[in-house]
Amino acid sequence: MLYIKCPWCGYRDDAEFHYGGEAHIKRPFDADSLSDEEFSEYLFQKSNTKGLTLERWVHTSGCRRWFNVLRNTVTNEIIEVYPSDQLPSSKAGKEYYKSNWRRKSAAERLTTRQIEK
């Protein structure tokens, strides 16, 4: 049982929420320029980490808003809750974000390049 602190409604039982899976997966703008392997990485491959993970939740039976969570998948401890358009601000969250394999994936590199342009 998770006890999740919605940024707007406070602590609520996890039955009120829906899980949105891994956070910070960038959809490639120009998917045609990716190879099938690279697109598969974006579409199918999971981080599924044992330990810290960054994930999305939505408070379906409450305020219906999305937010992000830094959680430990072994202890289920929730370490940080932060807005869905931002990056984590805790040290552990920042480190996990930086070291995740997606930062080096072709899909993300392509998208980041395009946003910069």
Q: Report the interface residues with another protein, using CB under 8 A.
A: 1-2, 13-15, 18-19, 21, 36-37, 40-41, 43-50, 53, 55, 73-76, 101
8 binds, among another protein, Zn ion, none (CB under 5 to 8 A by kind): Zn ion
Closest C-alpha to 62, from 2, 12, 4: 12
Nearer to another protein, 76 or 114 (CB): 76
Q: Is the dihedral of CA 19, 22, 27, 31 positive or negative?
A: negative
Torsion over CA of 36, 37, 38 and 44, rounded to 10 degrees?
100
Among 4, 6, 54, 107, binds Zn ion (CB under 5 A): 6
